[in-house]
Structure 1
C-alpha cells in the first residue's frame, strides 16, 4: 500500500528553517491500521498530509500502490485523492448550509456520478453510520458526535482504499469519543481499508496494532497488542 523512503519536509518560519520530517522511512501494508503519536509540532499532521497527497516532501518518495505522490502532476494527484483516499478531521469540515445528505454527496461529485446514484450511495452510507433518519438535518442541528459521523460517511461514501483521520475525536467528550472510535474500528474491520490516524489520546493509541511515534521529525514504529 504505502512505502515512504527518505521523506523530508522543510519549510520557512520567518527567517528560520523548520524541519518537520527528517528522512522518514515507513511501510504501511494494505488493510493495515496505524496510529501516529508525538508532541505538538513534532510532524504528525505533516506526515498525514504526505500520505494524503495534501502536501509534497522536500525530498524523498511517497509511494501509494507504486505511484509516487510526491511527483504526480496536480491533476492526477487530485484524482487519486478523490478516488482512493478518505479524510476525517478534528473540526468535521462540514458545509454549514448543506444537509447531512448533501455534505456526503459532495465527495461523489468529482467522480462524475449521476445525481440519483449520489443520493442512493449517500443515503446508504449515512444509514451505515446510524444517521439514516438525520440525513435532512443541517450540521448545527446535529450533535458533535453526529457531525463527525457525517464526516466519516463523507469519507467512506466513495469506497476509498485509505482512510486518514487527524484527531477525529479531539472535539468530543469521552463517551462520544469511544462511540466514534468503536465505529471507525468496525468500519476498518468490515471494509478492509487501510486506516491511519493521528491522535494525542494515549488510550486510543493503545487500541491500534501498530504505533508510530514521531519526535523531531523522526519516526519509530512499535508493534503492540491492541487493547479495547
Structure 2
C-alpha cells in the first residue's frame, strides 16, 4: 500500500532550518491499522500530510500503490486524493451552512457522482455512523461527537482504500473519545481499510496493532501484539 523511503521535510523559520521529517522509512501494508504518536512538533501531522498527498517531501519517495506522491503531477495527485483517501481532522472541517447530509455529499462532487446517487450514498454513510435521523441538521445543531461522526461519514462515502485521521478525538471528552475510536475501529474492519491515525492520547495508541513514534522527525516502529490479537 505505502512505501516511504528517506522521506525528509525541511522548513525555514527565519534563518533556522527545521527538519520536520528526517529520513523516514516506513511500510504500511494494505489493511494495516497504524497509530502515530509523539511530542508536539515531532513530525506526526507532517507525516500524515505526506501520506495524504497534502504536502510533498523535500527529499525521498512516498509510494501509494506504486505511484510516487512526491513526483506525480498536481492533477494526478488531486485525483488520487479524491478517489483513494479519506480524511478526518480534529476540527471536523464541516461547512456550517450545509446540513449533515449536504456536508457528506460534498465528498462525491469531485467524483462526478450524479445527484440522486450522491443523496443515496450520503444517507447510507450517515446511517453507518448512527446519524441517519440527523441528516437535516446543521453542524451547529449537533454535538461535537455527532459532528465528528458526520466528518467520518464524509470521509468514507467515497469508498476510499485509505483512511487518515489527524487527532480525531482531540476535541472530545473521554467518553465520546472512546465512542469515536470504537466507531473508527469497527469501520476499519467492516470496510477493510488501511487506517493511519495521529494521536497524542496514549489510551488510544495502546489499542493499535502497530505504533509509530516520531521524535525530532525520526521514526521508531513497534508491534503491539496484544492489540493485534484482539482484532
Length-normalised TM-score, structure 1: 0.99
**In structure 2, C-alpha distance between the alignment counterparts of 1:80 and 1:45, rounded to whole Å:** 19
* Deviation of 1:85 (Å): 0.2
**In structure 2, C-alpha distance between the alignment counterparts of 1:72 and 1:15, rounded to whole Å:** 30
* Deviation of 1:15 (Å): 1.6
- Structure 2 residue aligned with 1:146: 146
**In structure 1, C-alpha distance between the alignment counterparts of 2:72 and 2:91, rounded to whole Å:** 28
- Structure 2 residue aligned with 1:203: 203
- Structure 1 residue aligned with 2:33: 33
* Deviation of 1:157 (Å): 0.1
Q: Deviation string for 1:151-195 (max 9, x for gaps)?
A: 000000000000000000000000000000000000001110100
**In structure 1, C-alpha distance between the alignment counterparts of 2:82 and 2:39, rounded to whole Å:** 30
Unaligned residue ranges in structure 2 (runs of 5+): none
- Structure 2 residue aligned with 1:119: 119
Q: Secondary structure at the match of 2:107?
A: helix
Unaligned residue ranges in structure 1 (runs of 5+): none
- Structure 1 residue aligned with 2:134: 134
RMSD: 0.9
Q: Deviation string for 1:65-86 (max 9, x for gaps)?
A: 0000000110110000000000
Provide the aligned length of Structure 1 versus Structure 2: 228
Length-normalised TM-score, structure 2: 0.98
- Structure 2 residue aligned with 1:49: 49
| Structure 1 runs (4+) greater than 2 angstroms displaced | none
* Deviation of 1:52 (Å): 0.1
